[in-house]
């Protein structure tokens, strides 16, 4: 196999990998949209249970140091450190 043939093979591999990545991105986007729609429906059908679960998740995330932002971009997490 000469240099030109190797380049063609490599380009075909790169093009194939790009197409696979695009396909995966589309599938992931579609899954997230469907999941978000289902979550919206559940939160409307069971608002009290949804709030309870959401508060539990927020507390668990904040214990691990993850920030939750409110609609104004503020967070409940404090950044003070004891030395």
Report pLDDT digits (tens) over 1-10: 677 777 777 7
The dihedral built from the CA positions of residue 37, 42, 48 and 52, taken in this order, carries a sign that is negative
Report pLDDT digits (tens) over 47-79: 999 889 988 998 998 899 888 777 566 666 555
Total of domains in the chain: 1
d(CA 72, CA 55): 18
Q: With respect to residue 32, please indicate whether it lies within any of the assigned structural domains.
A: yes
Specify the DSSP class assigned to residue 70. -
Q: With respect to residue 68, please indicate whether it lies within any of the assigned structural domains.
A: no
Q: With respect to residue 16, please indicate whether it lies within any of the assigned structural domains.
A: yes
Q: Which domain holds residue 46?
A: 3-63
Quick check: pTM over 0.85?
no
Q: With respect to residue 73, please indicate whether it lies within any of the assigned structural domains.
A: no
Q: With respect to residue 82, please indicate whether it lies within any of the assigned structural domains.
A: no
Two tokens at 62? Answer: 């904040």
Q: With respect to residue 42, please indicate whether it lies within any of the assigned structural domains.
A: yes
Q: What are the residues facing 69 on neighbouring strands?
A: 75
Q: With respect to residue 26, please indicate whether it lies within any of the assigned structural domains.
A: yes
Q: With respect to residue 46, please indicate whether it lies within any of the assigned structural domains.
A: yes
| Close Cβ partners of 62 (under 8 Å, ≥ 6 residues apart) | 68, 76, 77
């Amino acid at each position: 196999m000469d240099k030109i043939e190797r380049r063609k093979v490599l380009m075909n591999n790169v093009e194939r990998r790009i197409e696979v990545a695009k396909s995966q991105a589309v599938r992931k986007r579609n899954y997230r949209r469907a999941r978000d729609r289902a979550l919206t429906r559940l939160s409307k059908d069971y608002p009290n249970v949804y709030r309870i679960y959401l508060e539990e998740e927020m507390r668990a995330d904040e214990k691990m140091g993850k920030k939750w932002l409110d609609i104004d971009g503020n967070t409940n997490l404090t950044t003070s450190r004891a030395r």
